[in-house]
Amino acid sequence: MKIIDVIASPGLTGFYFDDQLAIKAGVAHDGFTYNGEPRTPGFRAVRQRGESISVLLILEDGQVAAGDCAAVQYSGAGGRDPLFLAEDFIPIILEEIAPKLVGQELDSFRQLAGVVEHSKRPNGERYHTAIRYGVSQAILDGVAKAKKKTMTEIILQEYDLPLVLEPVPIFAQTGDDRYDNADKAIIKRAGVLPHALINNVETKLGKHGELLMEYVEWLRNRIIMLGGDDYRPVLHIDVYGTIGIAFEDDPQRMVDYLARLEKVAAPLHLRIEGPMDAGSIEGQIEQLKVLRVALKARGVKVEIVADEWCNTYEDIVKFVDAQAADMVQIKTPDLGGIQNTIEAVIYARKFGVGAYVGGSCNETDGGGRTAVHVALATRPDQMLAKPGMGVDEGYMIVHNEMNRTLAVLRRANRL
């Protein structure tokens, strides 16, 4: 089955692009947006609508395969590729990517995705991560349609993975609405919650960690009250380096605090993402490893999740090789082609490190569904409900795609 044409359409994502540089510089909130001037090149406002591009492969039998190009909320920050706007990148897809795909046989996802992943622009630069991300999704969908299989089955076959007919725990993130949205996640019985967006010491963590302690106590009580005796989700909280700030990166003080937090969370298991930000990948690996070793020496079972400075496949390999974290977040758009996410999960699991197929609130429904197939095939410890920050929509998209796919696979394996 060959690709006979490539077309593209502009789209919207499930959240927004935010100028992290301007926000860190102190621009003020104004309702749902911000006052002030943007500071990151390409931004027209501090917060602007998230944009995507749907890449559509026209197959010779008339079928259409699709993938969504999308970038993370904080585009252009932390060494990431620049702001991804549809009007800027559709011409690149049609003029430079399409000729590489038209006429290609859809017989190998890995081979064809690799062609795009390793191609260079006429100026010698790599293609934007968002382009590689969306085009690889379309290729995976195209190979699945050509072979009349699910995308899960294509990944299983090409990476020689075992079929497991069980769901992967879904992680629901609350955003700043950490109370009402936690209720939503509990009612929907999410396997992991709440993320909670603890990104400020004074207003969210507390100078001594007391605000987060109060929130975790409320959350534990709420789960027990609303969820009943048979519901014990994992608590996964992203603190954006604020614990390190509050406790001056002193590992023993951080261990003392996390030991207290673990007791408050009991009987629920606790994961802390990004406890500190060391300012470099080398420093982050070293500090996370020191904290992880100190926690284990004290018998504290809180798991440490790597996020900051763990962006690409190569970064993930470094964190895993150093055994610097109990779990790595694999941020799907930042890795470029979806095959890199597949390989990152496989690598982490091979060396006993937890894998979290994450991503961004600023993705699309299509990207969320593709991530489900990656998760069902590679078996990470959890995957993010995405896109958006409202719990309901992202959780529905991911949960329903997972259950539909499992139903199809169970039927196929009964025949």
Residues with active-site annotation: 331
Determine if residue 7 is left, alpha or beta; phi over 0 gives left, psi from -120 to 50 gives alpha, anything else beta: beta
**Torsions phi, psi for 381 (to 5 deg):** -70, -25
d(CA 23, CA 27): 5
Sorted by sequence, the CB contacts under 8 Å of residue 109 that are 6+ apart come out as 139, 140, 143, 154, 155, 158, 339
Residue 383, token pair as written in the block: 């995957």
Reference 313, options 284, 370, 355, 278; nearest CA is 355
Q: Mark out the alpha helices in 57-128 (DSSP H runs).
A: 86-92, 98-101, 109-117
β-strand partners of 354: 327
Residue 272, token pair as written in the block: 């802390």
Residue 386, token pair as written in the block: 């995405």
**Torsions phi, psi for 146 (to 5 deg):** -65, -35
